[in-house]
Amino acid sequence: MKYEDAIKKYDPVIGIEVHVELGTVTKMFDAAPNSFGGGPNSNITPTSLGLPGSLPVVNEKAVEYAIKIGLALGCDIAESCRFARKNYFYPDVPKDFQTSQSDEPIAANGEVEVELEDGTMVTIPVERAHMEEDAGKNTHVGGATGRIHGAVHSLVDYNRAGVPLVEIVTHPITGTGERAAEVAAAYVRTLRDIFRALGVSEARMEQGNVRADVNVSLRESPEAPLGTRTETKNVNSFRSIERAVRYEIARQATVLESGEKVVQETRHWHEDTGETTSGRVKSDADDYRYFPEPDLVPLVPSRDWIEELRATLPELPAQKRRRLAAVWGFSDLEMRDVVNAGLLETIEDTVDAGAKPSAARKWWTGEIARLAKQQERHPTDLVTPVQVAALAQLIKDGRLNDKLAKEVLAGVVAGEGEPAEVMTARGLEIVEDTGALEAAVAEAIAANPDVVEKIKGGKMQAVGALMGPIMKATRGQADAGKAREMILAKING
Amino acid sequence: MTESSEITPEQVQHLASLSRIAMGEDELKALAGDLTTILGNVARVNEVVGDDVPATSHPIPLSNVLRPDVVGQTLTSEQALAAAPAAQDDKFVVPQILGEE
C-alpha cells in the first residue's frame, strides 16, 4: 500500500528516541578521553573494559549537560535519581550490562515546540531524558559488506564504550496525520539545534553524535487504542528519518490490509534501499532485568545547582527566531526563508555590524545567495557580515545604488578588497558631479524633442524615456532622483 | 515475591537463554527447585520489615559522588588487549554473533 493511501486509511502514531553523545572531555563513568583520535582501543581504562575490580565514578560535567538538556526541554529535574543496570549480552557492551537509568530518569515531563517548514507549530510531548553510556563498535568480518549475516567473527573497539549519552524519549505523538514523517524529522532537527545552542554536543548527525530510533504504529482512527508498534533503530539523518517513517507506515498498512498483524519488533533501516527489515523480536523490558547499580550512589542535584544551570541556559533557537522576527519586522515567510537558508546568525551579525535588517536580508537571501548558488558554495563563504554591512552603508549614504552595489559585491567576492576599495578602484561611485549630470540631462533633452513635448503636455511618465540616455552617458552612476528633478526643472522651468 | 511463588523450569530456561547459558532438562528442574527455596527464604525478610523501613539499594546514605571532567590514566591498546583470547588490528576478536538479523 502506498504511503498516500495508507495515511488516508490509518491514523499513524509515532514515538522517537534520540540519543545524543555529550561533548565532555572524558567518558561517563571513567577518566578515559571522550574522543576518537588515536587507534582502536586506545581511549580506555579498566572501567571502559569492565575489568574485574574496576569501579565507575560519575562525570560531573555529564550530569550538568544532562540537566541543561532537561531544562531546555522544559522537563522537571529529579530531586533524586539512580543509575540502573540494563542487562544484555552483546560484545560491544564489555560489562554485559549498560549503565543507564530506568524508573528514575534525571529529567521528565517536558515538551518541545517544533516548527515545520511551512511554519506550522507542533508540540512534542517528552516523557523523559535519562543518562547512560554508549557501547563500543563492532566490525563484522567475513560477511558481505560488514553485515552480521555470514560473518565468521567480529572485531570490537571499545573507544566509544562509556561515552556519555542522554536519551530523550517522547510520549506517543498523535494527531500528526499525513505529516507524521515530516514531524519526526523536524523534531530531531529541533533537538539537534537545541544541543548545539546548549553547547552540550557537536551534535553532528553524520558523525553519529545524534542517533534516532523511530517507533511507528497505525490505528483505524484517532479514537482507537494504539496499534502494535515497530522500532526502527539507528536512523541517522533527517532525510532518513522521514523516509523510514513513510516506509513503515506504508509497510504496516500493507500488512494490516492483508489481514495480518503487525509484529512488535526491532527493525533495521537500510539507507541504500530505503527499506526496513525485520530485526529481533523486541524483548520485554523485563528481560533487561533492570536493577539499581550498586556501584553508584544516588544523584541528588541540589536546587541551587539546577537554578544556577537554568540561569546559564542560552536563548533557544525557537525563542531566538521569534524574538528576532519581531525585532527585525520580518514576516513569517521571510523569517522561514532566512532560517531554511541557514542565514539567521549571519544576518544577525550583519545587523550587529550596522546594517538595517531588511537590507541584510535582501542582500544575503538575494544577490549573495544567487552568486553562492552559481559557485556551489555557501553564501557565508563569499563575503563577511561586516562587508555586507559596509555595502549597505554605501547605499544608504547615496554613494551606490543597488545596481552598482551588485558590481561592487562581485568585486568583493572576487577578492578585490573591501566594498569601499572596490567601489573606488572600479570607479563605480555615484556621480556627485552635478556638472556632468547637468550636461547629460541637457544632452538628452536636446536629442529627444518629441519626449520633451509629451512631458510639457503633462505626460510625466515620459520622463523615463530620457533616463536611458542619461544613465548611458553617466555609465549608470547618475542618481536617478536627482536627474529627474533636473529634467523637470529644465523643461518646466 | 511471596512465599507461594514457584519458579518454573520454563522461567529458568528463559533466564538461561538471556544469559547465553546452555542448560539440560535436569539442570533446569533442579535450579527451579533451588531458586524457589531461596526466594522463599529471602521472602521471609518481608515478615519482619515494618512500614518504617524503606526499600534501599545502598546500605550507606551517600549521594552525589562525582568526579571532575579531567582525563586520567588510560591503558595503551597493547595493555588493553593483553588479556584478550584473540586480537586483530588492535581490536578484540569475538566469536560469530548469533541471533541477530
Pseudo-torsion of CA A359, A423, A437, A444, nearest 10°?
-80
Query: In 10 A of CB B98, how many CB atoms?
Result: 8
Question: Residue A19 pairs with which residues in a beta bridge?
Answer: A167, A211
Q: Which residues of A touch B60 (CB under 8 A)?
A: 297
Whole-model pTM: value is 0.78
Architecture of the domain whose range is A434-492: Orthogonal Bundle (1.10)
**Angle at which helices A180-198 and A317-328 cross, to 10°:** 90
The predicted pLDDT at position A149 comes to 63
How many Å lie between the alpha carbon of B78 and the closest alpha carbon of chain A? Answer: 9
Q: What is the mean pLDDT of chain A?
A: 91
pLDDT in tens, B7-46: 999 999 999 988 889 999 999 999 999 999 999 998 888 8
pLDDT in tens, B33-82: 999 999 999 888 888 887 888 777 788 889 999 999 999 999 999 999 99
Give A414's pLDDT tier (boundaries 50, 70, 90): very high
Chain A contacts in chain B segment 28-87 (CB below 8 A): 57-58, 60, 62-77, 80-81
d(CA A289, CA A172): 24
Q: Which residue in the set A46, A90, A277 is minimally distant from B75, CB to CB?
A: A46
d(CA A350, CA A412): 16
Q: Which three cell numbers stand for residue A73?
A: 526541554
At B31 the three-state DSSP class reads: helix
| Three-state SS annotation for B35-99 | HHHHHHHHHCHHHHCCCCCCCCCCCCCCCCCEECCCCCCCECHHHHHCCCCCEECCEEEEECCCC
Determine what percent of chain A is predicted with pLDDT higher than 90. 68
Residue B30, domain member (yes or no): yes
At A231 the three-state DSSP class reads: strand
Q: Which residue in the set B62, B76, B89 is minimally distant from A297, CB to CB?
A: B62
| DSSP string computed for A436-491 | HHHHHHHHHHHH-HHHHHHHHTT-GGGHHHHHHHHHHHTTT-S-HHHHHHHHHHHH
Q: Which three cell numbers stand for residue A215?
A: 517507533
pLDDT in tens, A17-39: 999 999 999 999 999 999 877 89
The predicted pLDDT at position B59 comes to 80
- Angle B8-B11-B16 from CA coordinates, rounded to 5°: 130
d(CA A404, CA A477): 8
Q: Which residues of A touch B65 (CB under 8 A)?
A: 57-58, 296-297
Give B101's pLDDT tier (boundaries 50, 70, 90): very low
pLDDT in tens, A207-225: 899 999 999 999 999 999 9
Residue B16, domain member (yes or no): yes
- CB half-sphere exposure, A330, CA atoms < 13 A: 24
**Which amino acid is present at A147?**
R
Whether residue A152 and residue B96 make contact (CB cut-off 8 A), yes or no, is: yes
Give A462's pLDDT tier (boundaries 50, 70, 90): confident
Q: Is the pLDDT of residue B1 over 70?
A: no
pLDDT in tens, A151-189: 678 899 999 999 999 999 999 999 999 999 999 999 999
Residue B32, domain member (yes or no): yes
Q: How many domains does chain B divide into?
A: 1
Chain A residue whose CA is closest to B93: A155
Chain B interface, mutation test: which of A155, A233, A275, most B Cβ atoms within 10 Å?
A: A155
pLDDT in tens, A102-135: 999 999 999 999 988 888 899 999 999 999 999 9
Residue B41, domain member (yes or no): yes
Please count the residue pairs, one from chain A and one from chain B, whose beta carbons lie less than 8 angstroms apart: 144
The parent domain of residue B19 ranges over 9-46
The predicted pLDDT at position A322 comes to 87
ipTM: 0.87
The predicted pLDDT at position A493 comes to 66
> Do A136 and A160 meet the contact criterion of CB atoms below 8 Å apart?
yes
Domain boundaries defined on chain A: 3-310, 315-425, 434-492
Q: Which three cell numbers stand for residue A22?
A: 555529550
At A15 the three-state DSSP class reads: strand
Hunting for cell 541584510 — which residue is that? A360
